[in-house]
Structure 1
Amino acid sequence: MAADFSASPLTGAQQQQLRQLLDGLDRDQAHWLAGYLAGYCQGTPAATQSAPVNSDVPQSELTVLFGSQTGNAEGVAEQLVARAADKGIKARLVDLADYKPKQIRQEQWLALVTSTQGEGDPPDNALDFHEFLMGKKAPKLEHLNYSVLALGDSSYEQFCQTGKEFDERLAGLGATAMAQRVDCDVDYEDLAEQWIERLLDVMAARAGASQPLAATPGAGPVVESVYGRKHPFLATLLTNQLLSGQGSDKEVRHIEVSLEGSDLRYQPGDALAVCPINAPALVQAVLSALGFEADARVELDGEPRALADVLRLEREITLLTPPLMKQWAELAGHDELRALADNPEELRLWTAGRDFLDLITQWPVEGLEPQALVSLLRKLPPRLYSISSSQSAEEDEVHITVAAVRYHSHQRDREGVASCWLADRLVEGDQLPVYIDPNKNFSLPSDDATPIIMIGPGTGVAPFRAFMQEREERGASGDNWLIFGDRHFRSDFLYQTEWIKWRRDGLLTRLDVAFSRDQAEKRYVQHCLAEQAGEVWAWLQQGASIYVCGDAEKMAPDVHQTLLTLVSEQGEMTLAEAEDYLRQMNRDKRYQRDVY
């Protein structure tokens, strides 16, 4: 829209200069200029590298909110607060579970870092804020300057959906974006760092900044281990033991890894991130289908590498994401593939059970160069496994429980990248790159007297083994109830000996099991909950915390619905009141889920 200077006090020459300036600005630059002029008119010049702000001017405060299911969004938010202090910007870190939504009326500067879980749902700690902001009671926010960083996984159809919804709603309520929303895939660090720097530069220019500040009280220090996502620890495999029994139609393994010499620390509820290696046979099949030599030279992060090594160690080739499908459709020039890539439902059905080899075989691309291939594929992300040990008990070891993923689909045998690498190609004494992925949203109560109810079918039982080891080491007095489910009692009762010992010793107060295939009518963990409704309610009335770990697609919703019905009936509440009850439990960290 052309600027209207008909009523301005500017001279003709000044109007012409301003028009030329505005025509050359993008949206973010225009917003920066608006903030600069607002500060200039109030006698508060914006800070620039050449003109530092008078330190006597009161500093504006940046509120950094995070919605996080596993801890990644919280980690980025902590990084933002630390970088803000370096730039002389006062910032406070707030968990969305602890944030009163109406308080947003008073905010002037807001950064929101959020993940998305499942098929486009907000993380548990962001439910209240999401409901308020999307509802009719959300206020106008013309005074608010904000930016959103969205974390997600492009293999899901609703990629970064929660971040997109927050961004669009804030803009719709009149707020001004300081920096455009950034949507991050599983390899999010570089984009997150760029977003942080851009956001803080814009805020420093608009709001003013002074000398570097001390850490914000309450934010807590940002402590980074020597070993982490960018620099994993090369750990030694100590034990690779088949856990499932004879006759099981699943292969579950108990894996023990040495952390000796790493100084890595973990808490019950955290995950071990394993940096896997693609199957050599699949890598060779991809190279052959493309007509590339294994030793073809490509560049990665400024270093020359062999193409086969990059595909084996660095690039995702077992999962087809919507962005990859759209890019390949353009390169291939196939109308059929373009139509498929533009139809989310058809795309979801076609990609299920297929990998990159299927794509390049069905729709080949002429003239593709090895370097272009490397640029096209996303980074091979680590796989996260709930830790099944307590460091208090196991010291320099970490244990995980891994179900080997094997299936036949579209005329080919398939396998999970990390699970089958661990199960088939690693032996005791081999090394594997790992790091700890903390999960503050799935942790034991700080009060050891608090009763806990643990619901974990299949490998979802892993963190509860860690919980029991930890409570045993602490001498915790709180009651412990495990509800476990799997297919068959004889072959799939994972860690059966340990559970029975803890039950006999009194550490495990109750043990209920559901084996779905041992009778004509299938039986699941939610059936145990329903059958013990009165006892579950009694535990809740005594302040018990509930933990759910495992499948997010069916198990977790079924368990939630059973809990909802249970609370409604036992507490004589409406379903809406029961939902509020569970939501309050979530706020109080008494209802925690680690679902995937």
Structure 2
Amino acid sequence: MTAATLSPLPEDKQPLVARLIDGLEAPTLLWLSGYLAGVAGQRQPSGKPSAAEPAAVPEAQPRLTVLYGSQTGNAKRLAEDLGRRASAAGLAVRVVRADAYAAREWKQERLLYLVISTQGDAEPPDDSRALVEFLSSARAPKLESLRYAVLGLGDSSYPNFCAIGRQLDERLAALGAQRLLPAGEADVDLETVAHPWLEQALQQAREQLKTSAPLAKVTTLRTARIAPVWHREQPFQAPLLLNQRITGRDSDRDVRHLEFSLDGSGLHYAPGDALGVWPTQSPALVDAVLNTLKLDGDTTVRVGSEEHALRTWLSKHRELTQLTRPFFAAHAERSGDAPLRELLAPAARDTLADLFSRWQVLDLLRRHPAEWTAETLVAALRPLAPRLYSIASAQSVVGDEVHLTVSHVDYALDGEARWGAASRFLAQHAEGENVPVFIEANERFHLPADDRDILMIGAGTGVAPYRAFVQERAERGAGGRNWLVFGNPHFHSDFLYQVEWQAALKSGQLHRIDLAFSRDQAEKRYVQHRLIEQGRRVYEWLDGGAHLYVCGDANRMAKDVHKALVAIVAEHGARSAEDAEAWLSQLIQRGRYARDVY
């Protein structure tokens, strides 16, 4: 018996409901269900209260709204943590994702905390683009009655660290809102700034919401999930089952296919989620840093409640392969090097960004000598953070395993080897050895629940989640078409998972594939060029309801793909560039244009 058969709706009304919920995500559907329950309660005959009607909350009860914009899950996790703490303190609180927050609510809001990340070069998270655009526009209302605070999340290895959080903090103040706390700017080591900020924010909320109301419950506008036993702070030791290079011998890229066992962990993931990996720094790199600074690795260093030998701090707890602006500034001050300090000026932003893309901590220490003690070095270096990799397998197919596609970052700088922390850590692991891992959900990059067509765009290791997508859709017999657009330098050496894609095409699991091998011809060809060539077909798919996914480099590929999409929608949809941009923004808000970029 079908759901339609059981429905009390008249048959002619059922298509209207289907059109209403078309493309809506879970948070919006949950809000809609509550709204409809309220309407039903109002229409209930007098004296016959509805059993489904929720208990009314007095309108006068003051409330805290925690609004978040998150790309990788960190902002969401912190916002939900703040919501739980506020609820436990007896405060009325709701936690809302940015794309589920209606613009009209700003006028009525009285107390709001915003937790938002900055992506790449000063880009907002995809779920926050509409919110940032609205607040930045002339349509944003005056907010004299609003009290607020902003916690920005970012990565200090980028020049525009926490730019979106800073921008929104200043904008809310310009609209007349009262700032309760200075904007927090948390690096990838969230504990250093975020946790103290959350404590201050909670204290401010207590003072602002002085109420004798009974203990409140936090309302989170998303489906609740039970916290797993293994998580970021307590990773699972996953045995490595396979470590296989999948690029050719003549390729200048070392890309690995890695398979891990999750047997006994109870961990579950969906296609589109990420696997977090906690790396350990290479012993050779740690030795090089110690030798350069003439420090003893056995020196005991205490920071807060933690105490380790210096070598242990540098191996397991501190970032060495990525330069950050705070450490660069601290080293420039210690070195007394005037040209080094000049690189911190706004005018030198591009030069500093280029330097950060090539240099590691060791390069700065060697080229601009300065005195460091073991204690000051540990205090100045950024804490080591886990790396997140898009999962390249569907659990419905591989069971208690999880697969990754990892590019081993390995290059030479002035004739000396340099490498990425996590990619080298993984590449050097032998089969049978354990790797500390956890699952990071990426709800905005999941497959559609129905059988819609999907268009998957990715370059290099950005193809990883699409392997999971095709596996999952084939396993569940989804009827939608699957189109992959993939790019890499060379066909013969860099066509990742070539045999699998060809088999998927032959079996009908993959319906179309377009390839862009940039260096196989005189004129470089990238995925955006393939999209332009197939522009009419791309637009027909999108206009027909297809979901669009982009995975890979945020600063080049993803931006170039977006520009190509704007041009395609403008040409084949007979729109201006501005209207084409707005049309794509609508797809983002509806969850039909999702990006997993880094």
TM superposition score category, shorter chain reference: 0.7 to 0.9
Tell me the distance in 2 between the aligned counterparts of 1:376 and 1:179: 25
1:525 aligns with one of 523, 527, 540: 527
Counterpart of 1:282?
A: 285
Give yes or no for the alignment of 1:428 onto 2:431: yes
Residue 310 to residue 61, structure 1, CA distance change in 2 (3 Å): same
Tell me the distance in 1 between the aligned counterparts of 2:184 and 2:305: 24
Counterpart of 2:9?
A: none
1:174 aligns with one of 169, 173, 176: 176
Residues 305-344 of structure 1: matches in 2 within 5 Å? Answer: 305-342=308-345, 343-344=348-349
Kindly provide the CA deviation profile for residues 176-231 of structure 1, in whole angstroms up to 9, marking residues without a partner as x: 12222111000114533332232222122222244432342645446322222211
Q: Letter of the 2:495 partner, please give it.
A: F
Displacement of 1:412: 2.0
Corresponding pairs, count: 539
Counterpart of 1:17?
A: none
Q: Which runs of 5+ in 1 are unaligned?
A: 1-54
Residue 497 to residue 350, structure 1, CA distance change in 2 (3 Å): closer
Counterpart of 1:397?
A: 401
Displacement of 1:324: 0.7
2:115 aligns with one of 110, 113, 116: 113
Give yes or no for the alignment of 1:442 onto 2:461: no
The question of whether the paired residues in 1 share the 8 Å contact of 2:242 and 2:260 is answered with: yes
Q: Which runs of 5+ in 2 are unaligned?
A: 1-56
2:537 aligns with one of 530, 535, 538: 535
The question of whether the paired residues in 2 share the 8 Å contact of 1:70 and 1:441 is answered with: no
Displacement of 1:358: 2.0
Counterpart of 2:350?
A: 345
Residue 362 to residue 246, structure 1, CA distance change in 2 (3 Å): closer
Kindly provide the CA deviation profile for residues 357-397 of structure 1, in whole angstroms up to 9, marking residues without a partner as x: 2222233333x321121111111111111100111111211
Counterpart of 1:571?
A: 573
Counterpart of 1:376?
A: 380
The question of whether the paired residues in 1 share the 8 Å contact of 2:113 and 2:148 is answered with: yes
1:419 aligns with one of 411, 419, 423: 423
Moved more, 84-93 or 566-575: 84-93
Q: Letter of the 1:403 partner, please give it.
A: S
Moved more, 584-593 or 180-189: 180-189
Tell me the distance in 2 between the aligned counterparts of 1:359 and 1:384: 26
The question of whether the paired residues in 2 share the 8 Å contact of 1:388 and 1:401 is answered with: yes
SS in 2 for 1:585: helix
Counterpart of 1:254?
A: 257
1:99 aligns with one of 101, 104, 108: 101
Moved more, 381-390 or 289-298: 289-298
The question of whether the paired residues in 1 share the 8 Å contact of 2:94 and 2:218 is answered with: no
SS in 1 for 2:198: helix
The question of whether the paired residues in 2 share the 8 Å contact of 1:353 and 1:410 is answered with: no
Q: Letter of the 2:420 partner, please give it.
A: G
Residue 351 to residue 453, structure 1, CA distance change in 2 (3 Å): closer
Kindly provide the CA deviation profile for residues 232-252 of structure 1, in whole angstroms up to 9, marking residues without a partner as x: 111111100111123222111
SS in 2 for 1:552: coil
Counterpart of 2:50?
A: none
Counterpart of 1:357?
A: 362
Q: Letter of the 1:318 partner, please give it.
A: T
The question of whether the paired residues in 1 share the 8 Å contact of 2:93 and 2:216 is answered with: no
Larger CA Rg, structure 1 vs 2? 1
Displacement of 1:99: 2.0
Tell me the distance in 2 between the aligned counterparts of 1:340 and 1:472: 52
Tell me the distance in 1 between the aligned counterparts of 2:488 and 2:367: 38
Tell me the distance in 1 between the aligned counterparts of 2:486 and 2:515: 5
1:229 aligns with one of 212, 232, 238: 232
Q: TM-score, normalised by structure 2?
A: 0.87
The question of whether the paired residues in 2 share the 8 Å contact of 1:315 and 1:377 is answered with: yes
Give yes or no for the alignment of 1:407 onto 2:411: yes
Tell me the distance in 1 between the aligned counterparts of 2:596 and 2:123: 14
Q: TM-score, normalised by structure 1?
A: 0.87
The question of whether the paired residues in 2 share the 8 Å contact of 1:69 and 1:124 is answered with: yes
Percent of aligned pairs with the same amino acid: 48
Counterpart of 2:124?
A: 122
The question of whether the paired residues in 1 share the 8 Å contact of 2:95 and 2:220 is answered with: no
Once superposed, what is the RMSD of the aligned Cα atoms?
Answer: 1.8
The question of whether the paired residues in 2 share the 8 Å contact of 1:441 and 1:592 is answered with: yes
Tell me the distance in 1 between the aligned counterparts of 2:355 and 2:521: 35
The question of whether the paired residues in 1 share the 8 Å contact of 2:452 and 2:545 is answered with: yes
Residue 66 to residue 217, structure 1, CA distance change in 2 (3 Å): closer
Q: Letter of the 2:368 partner, please give it.
A: W
Give yes or no for the alignment of 1:133 onto 2:135: yes
